[in-house]
Structure 1
Amino acid sequence: MSKPSPNSRYVLLRYLSGALLFRVVFCCCVLVSLLEILALLEQTTPILQRHLGISGIVNYAAMRLPFLLSGALPLSVLIGALLMLTQMTLASEMAILRAAGLSTLGLYKYLVPATLLIGMAGIVLDDQITPRSEQALAAWWNRTDPAPEDGHSFWFHEGKNLTYVDHVADGGNVLGTVNVYIRNNQNMLVRTLHAPRAHYTGADGWTLYDVDGLDIDLKDQKVDRLPRLPAMPWNTTLFPRDFIRLSTGNAPLSTSTIIGMLRGQVPSDSSPGFLKAGLMERFLRPASLLVLLLIAMPVIYIPPRTGTRSWLPVWCLGAGLLFIVVQGLLRAMGNAGLLPPPVATVPALIIFTLGALTVLLRNETR
């Protein structure tokens, strides 16, 4: 048998990559459309109650799209790979490729570039697009909120100081009930400041109003009340967008923001373990998609006589869903501090890779 020419290999690579990308994009569009419909069913009433109209519904759907797209990507790769490989097997294309000398490993290699391309697109989506869209959505939602005082309260640490904010209003430009706890280099509390509200202006920065507080000397066990001030500047490095981010809880973060939090350069309300696990999971996304592709590979062994009656695609789909669920559970345990970040992200990749390889080798030796 003659060795395949480089040109024929490139043709096969383009064909398989195009087939996989088309089906992944199609599945992603279907899944994201369903998720958008479900999200709008929940949020349409609040949007209309705020008198935002049809434009508000469109804005919400557009700003929510990157987040939904990021979440649907792994399942889209799994279903897209299953559809492509099953269709090629039932159409006898796999039998022809095998007769031409293409092994299972060779087929997997041809599908790796397209999968890595999708994985890299997922990294860019998670790192740059989703954090910005979610930030814009949170600011817009807060700005149009008729009752911001019922919003989410939160704590954060900035350097050695701790700060409590009761709620955020006007897209982050107004804060309600700000308590600042100032600590010295020995992490001892030395002063507290309390202000019922704070306003931000671009030129003057943050201003606290009706400020009172305490001077605390723990060594001498002495506490002095500070005179009430109608207004005072607040020296903080945070901008309105930072308070919007903190008020939304576990908002998507860019890599630069996560690194800044880990180094103490950016105020944070998350634990280091949570941030490290999120960073590792983001850059391991291409590896996760490669594992999902490997899990889908056994469908090429569907017996010709079985056809669409085979349960093999169902078992592969179940294994892929189990992989996604296990990854989520381990990540949740890592977020809670029960597992270190490497244990919360890597073991699922190794276990399911070994399991999929075992199934493929078993079918090869039949």
Structure 2
Amino acid sequence: MLLDFFPSRRLTIYLAKMFALRIIAVLAMLVLVLLMLDLLGKTGDILAVEGNGDAEIWKYASLRLPQLASRFLPYSVLLATIITLAGLNQNSEVIAMKAAGLSAHQILAPLLLSGLVVSVISFGFNERVVTRANATLSAWEGVDFAQVPDDPATRSNVYFNDGRDVLMAASASGTAEDTVFTGVTFYERDDNGMIVRQINADSARFADPGWELQNASAFSVARAQTQEIDELTIAQGVTLGQVELGRVNPDAETLPQLSRSIAALQSSGRRTDELEAKWWHKISGPLSAMLMPLLGAVAGFGLARSGNLFVRAIFGMALGFAYFVVDNAALAMGSFGGYPPLLAAWAPFFLFLLVGETVLIRTEE
């Protein structure tokens, strides 16, 4: 019986149904509260744009909702685990199941299976819904909630470093050699970082190397004079690879799209550790929902009347939140090149899988 993780079909359905209902309830509560708080801060910015009204507020809410649901689904699974197991323990149902011969792993098996189903649903939801919402909301926020440009590749407020100098543009549109900057400002700086000349232009096109300005004017700080310039090529150190790297938003691309972006950047000699870590995390991230029942399992065991139930619940919650802290820290280290991308994405998952199993075996098995 110890090798049969689902000895009772009725008990499996009972636990899985109870767990699923609590996940939905906790997720709905978290998302609605956080969405309301987010709207309190963003409504003023949205309505500040002429022509925006209730429709734009609902549009923002519809785009923000998938993001919040995706981000806080693992937290909801963790809290649902603690609520479910603490309730079962409080009502002596865990004791009844153990008296019937079930091990701790057999009690947790329906919850782990439900967590796996949630992980699969979360992965599909992220790929089909969240990436599109991220892309649309990022473009909308880039223009300060005004009219979104027709070209989805358009980015607002971009800047690039060319040694000491800085190239800024109000927007960047087009792809590859057809990239065009509009509203260009170029700052030439000396060895001390002081601006010696400011160049403004209506637009700039890639000149291989550098960027050719149209309708440019230059202001000399030393002479305090402005001079019109017919043709000028600037920022020869700013390559198309830098522009494309800035264009890639891993949260707004699906796995196949991100794979193509990584391959394109690698072919141009660009560093892609951050994007590769995000690629792997698109798989390991949703799987955290399957890990939460194991980390929160400590709340479901031990005698409820011993007074340690609350302490166990707090310990399970702390263990689950510790996973998210370590996961974010590892992902940040992977982005800076401190960890290999594969290790940054998967090490926290397997580390806390072993920690959860160790705690469960040492305390209950």
Give the structure-2-normalised TM-score: 0.73
Aligned to 1:46: 45
1:233-312 equivalences under 5 Å are 251-264=251-264, 271-306=271-306, 310-312=310-312
Q: Distance in 2 between matches of 1:267 and 1:125?
A: 31
Aligned to 2:363: 363
2:212 alignment partner, SS class: strand
Please list the CA deviations of residues 223-247 of structure 1 after superposition, one character each: whole Å capped at 9, or x if unmatched: xxxxxxxxxxxxx9xxxxx99x966
Aligned to 1:202: none
Please list the CA deviations of residues 142-182 of structure 1 after superposition, one character each: whole Å capped at 9, or x if unmatched: 28438x9x9521459xxxxxxx7712399x99944354545
Quick check: 1:115–1:286 contact (8 Å CA) kept in 2?
A: no
Quick check: 1:152–1:248 contact (8 Å CA) kept in 2?
A: no
Please list the CA deviations of residues 112-144 of structure 1 after superposition, one character each: whole Å capped at 9, or x if unmatched: 221111111111122221111122223444284
Quick check: 1:193–1:211 contact (8 Å CA) kept in 2?
A: no
Cα gap change, 1:55 to 1:304, in 2 (>3 Å)? same
Aligned to 2:69: 69
What code does the residue aligned with 2:157 have? H
Please list the CA deviations of residues 310-343 of structure 1 after superposition, one character each: whole Å capped at 9, or x if unmatched: 3110111011111111100111111122211122
Aligned to 1:17: 16
Aligned to 2:213: 194
How well do the aligned residues superpose, as a CA RMSD in angstroms? 4.0
What code does the residue aligned with 1:20 have? F
Q: Distance in 2 between matches of 1:340 and 1:196?
A: 46
Q: Distance in 2 between matches of 1:275 and 1:285?
A: 14
1:316-335 equivalences under 5 Å are 316-335=316-335
Structure 1, unaligned runs of 5 or more:
157-163, 184-188, 198-209, 218-235, 237-241
Sequence identity (%): 23
1:164-243 equivalences under 5 Å are 166-168=169-171, 175-177=182-184, 179-181=204-206, 183=208, 189=209, 192-195=211-214, 212=231, 214=233
Q: Distance in 2 between matches of 1:60 and 1:341?
A: 33
Cα gap change, 1:112 to 1:309, in 2 (>3 Å)? closer
Could you tell me how far 1:82 is from its partner in structure 2? 0.7
Cα gap change, 1:55 to 1:196, in 2 (>3 Å)? farther
Please list the CA deviations of residues 18-50 of structure 1 after superposition, one character each: whole Å capped at 9, or x if unmatched: 111111111111111122122111111111111
Quick check: 1:19–1:84 contact (8 Å CA) kept in 2?
A: yes
Q: Distance in 2 between matches of 1:250 and 1:358?
A: 35
Could you tell me how far 1:282 is from its partner in structure 2? 1.4
Aligned to 1:348: 348
Aligned to 1:200: none
Aligned to 1:159: none
Cα gap change, 1:211 to 1:78, in 2 (>3 Å)? farther
Cα gap change, 1:132 to 1:110, in 2 (>3 Å)? same
Cα gap change, 1:250 to 1:347, in 2 (>3 Å)? closer
Please list the CA deviations of residues 37-96 of structure 1 after superposition, one character each: whole Å capped at 9, or x if unmatched: 221111111111114122221111111111111110111110011111111111111111
Aligned to 1:225: none
Cα gap change, 1:338 to 1:266, in 2 (>3 Å)? closer
> Alignment partner for residue 153 of structure 1, among 149, 152, 158?
158
Quick check: 2:274–2:334 contact (8 Å CA) kept in 1?
A: yes
2:101 alignment partner, SS class: coil
Aligned to 1:27: 26
Q: Distance in 1 between matches of 2:341 and 2:232?
A: 40
Give the structure-1-normalised TM-score: 0.73
Cα gap change, 1:349 to 1:249, in 2 (>3 Å)? closer
What code does the residue aligned with 1:110 have? P
Could you tell me how far 1:264 is from its partner in structure 2? 0.8
Could you tell me how far 1:254 is from its partner in structure 2? 1.1
2:157 alignment partner, SS class: coil
1:119-130 equivalences under 5 Å are 119-130=119-130
What code does the residue aligned with 1:152 have? N
Structure 2, unaligned runs of 5 or more:
150-154, 162-166, 185-202, 217-228
Cα gap change, 1:88 to 1:307, in 2 (>3 Å)? farther
Cα gap change, 1:37 to 1:121, in 2 (>3 Å)? same
Could you tell me how far 1:214 is from its partner in structure 2? 4.9
2:114 counterpart of 1:114: yes
Quick check: 1:257–1:266 contact (8 Å CA) kept in 2?
A: no
